[in-house]
Structure 1
């Protein structure tokens, strides 16, 4: 059989080879004999359901004819959505993404299909078929002629969310690609997008951008709350009650000033999200959010005092977090950082919370913590633990933590983390055991395989 044989030609060949009549073949496929005759004679288009029925009776693998179906029934004709939509859905079901991509791109000149393609992508997301959905979002985004359309912005938002991974380099690119579309989203999606971009930016230490995003998000959310827009269900609602976005903006701004060492201004922002008096008649869900931010406010007051050098607050801080298991990991990360900065002995704290010095998914009373944030915190925690033990002249223990942090830094493609660990290890290399040196060298070899570090000599 020649590769150029048409689907109709193969059907005719099969019927003739098996000595069947049209009626017999029609009964086997469940297709009306008149309809089947019209299909074979080219007077009637072939639907994907009919193609599946025919393929099954012919004993062929599902999707066997899909490439030729695209050529014959899509490229050389003007398919209507009643045929194109089911075909794309079937491509998704059979994981024939090459066929899906080819078929869609053949129809992109017809902009009337863009709303249907977008809705189909949304359906794919609901069914957790993300790869197929991303192909559709990309095609719609490429073909959307109205550059300020909400649909275009939504496509880029969906693409942004699915591009996020535990990789600083790729996440940085994802933020850049999405940045100009954030303000084009509707108000509900926009607030959620602000949170997403902020959370992805936090591990990248893009603090000026983070501050700007937090200020804009807080302002927009407060305006919506004051105007009662959050009650308008016709325009949609964000994932969280509107007060969350206002309070979260203050929390992010507090973090901005904390990391910059301006603890006085950081504490001012803590007061903004601690039991705010502007919230009127909070619902049960809103009260839950208020209580969670209150807990964070108490913990962060302790933290900012500790980071400013107030050692006396450490026992109170430790006792407070000990009763709130969800807060222990984050707080330990901060305590070790403060201990290294101000030479505070914390062996008793590390021993007490040793079971929390491991990587695991984190959550709080209102949400699950962003995985990229948790991984970045854990990577930094390992480095700070290494520094703590190196300062205590426990070199084996300290260098083991440094190498662990180095491994995680490579995993998440953190340039800053890799350089920090390499610098520390080289500073204390003479104290490293042969086993630790070998592991470090293996990681250096892994770093050299990364294209961005191709220039690096073997240490």
Structure 2
């Protein structure tokens, strides 16, 4: 069996090879001579702290993590975990991205499930400190080892892992959503609101409109129950603990209506969509609004106006198009979604919007470079509608180019491709086969 050098044997070998004494090495490392001697010669030896390990490594001019593999045993001296050494070591491993060492330490720690709560506390510390992605291995450790399957700690760990995951890979995000959803009602209310909001968004980006509708209803109902309870307690002059969610309560309430209305619109229920739109068009009745809440109310008013134009266009009211363009010019943040609506309407009712496409073509092209999932969603939807638009107007080659561009960018971004996009590609290929007979992928 091959002998694995210990942290002390590695240090002693280096000192001997370089001709250092305890006294001379103490001067270059900044570690007291007596302390250094006690680390190597005492019986039992004095434990080495993470700071001391780093000072030794720096003095010997090795990479910062040179001794990290060996230090794991120092964390479990005599087979027992020593949190005063483990925590600083894990934090340094996070800084140096030594995920392998983190996993080895966590594996040994969870041989005793007593440490699950301690690992959770460290995950929370990292998350609150802005290290959301770095906290994920610790939350996953809690998820794997929490023995109470209905615990709030487990639900929070599921939520924080889901929340921390990048939205650039929507297929992976969907996996996490499906795993997290059963735990959402175990969360504290301030987490529940943001959790349902994010679930709704994932399904929106994936064009799963039934789910968007369902979770939109859930979001607005939860927000209203919390709001009502707060007002009742306030009227009875009882102490009220105001919700400390990521956003104002009015935002979640309005967003629920917005989500349901959008889902109904996408499913073709225009009348029902307009009824839901009225639910968020004017939220000024909400009591206790601060400046942020008032800004949310105004934002929903703008969204309601934009979506009212959308619904009118989808009913074939072409005459409102000039007013809609003026609205978009005054609210440039709505241009991306507005152009998708205009193209969809043009395809449905067969009217010419070439001048609008030309006017905004460069602005739309810039969206494909965005890292914002929402803007990318609009870009993909726009390219899908644009391909149909070109095809219906007899511009076969342009339609196929748009579809190929859509699919190519989807692949590059590891984007979940809605089945309609693949079907569109097949339709165009079949229709253009006589023209493009040498294109083998058709």
Asked if these proteins are the same fold (TM beyond 0.5), I'd say: yes
1:353 aligns with 2:355: no
Alignment-derived partner of residue 191 in structure 1: 193
Question: Which residue matches 1:90?
Answer: 92
Corresponding residue for 2:270? 263
Say whether the 8 Å CA contact 1:336–1:388 is kept in structure 2.
Answer: yes
Using the alignment, how far apart are the partners of 2:6 and 2:240 within structure 1?
52
What are the equivalent positions in structure 2 for 1:25-424 lying under 5 Å apart?
A: 25-40=25-40, 41=42, 42-74=44-76, 76-125=78-127, 129-228=131-230, 237-276=244-283, 278-280=285-287, 282-360=289-367, 371-411=372-412, 412-424=415-427
Q: Is the 8 A contact 2:257 2:279 kept in 1?
A: yes
Q: State whether structure 2 residue 431 is matched by structure 1 residue 428.
A: yes
Q: CA, structure 1 residues 234+9, in 2 after alignment: closer, same or farther (shift >3 Å)?
A: farther
Equivalences, count: 432
Cα 1:425/1:157, change in 2 over 3 Å: same
Q: Is the 8 A contact 2:48 2:74 kept in 1?
A: no
State the secondary structure of the residue aligned to 2:321: helix
Shift of 1:131: 4.8
Deviations 1:280-304 (A, max 9, x none): 3633222211111111112212211
Relative to structure 1, is the Cα distance of residues 160 and 94 closer, same or farther in structure 2, using a 3 angstrom cutoff? same
Counterparts of 1:26 and 1:136, CA distance in 2? 36
- Between the aligned partners of 1:82 and 1:380, the Cα distance in structure 2 is 53
Residue 405 of structure 1 contacts residue 417 of structure 1 at CA under 8 Å; is this kept in 2?
no
Q: TM-score, normalised by structure 1?
A: 0.85
User: 2-side partners of 1:130 and 1:349: how far apart?
Assistant: 42
Task: Give the conservation status (yes or no) of the 8 Å contact 1:189–1:238.
Answer: yes
Q: Distance in 2 between matches of 1:334 and 1:133?
A: 40
Q: How big is the shift at 1:334? A: 0.9
1:142-181 deviation digits (Å, cap 9, x = unpaired)? 1222222222222111211233433342222121111112
Q: Is the 8 A contact 1:359 1:375 kept in 2?
A: no
8 Å CA contact 1:188–1:238 kept in 2: the answer is: yes
For the residues of structure 2 that align with 1:4 and 1:292, how far apart are their CA atoms? 63
Cα displacement (A) at 1:197: 0.9
**Structure 1 residue 421 displacement after superposition:** 3.2
Q: Is the 8 A contact 1:406 1:417 kept in 2?
A: no
Q: Which consecutive unaligned segments of at least 5 residues does structure 1 have? A: 363-368, 442-457
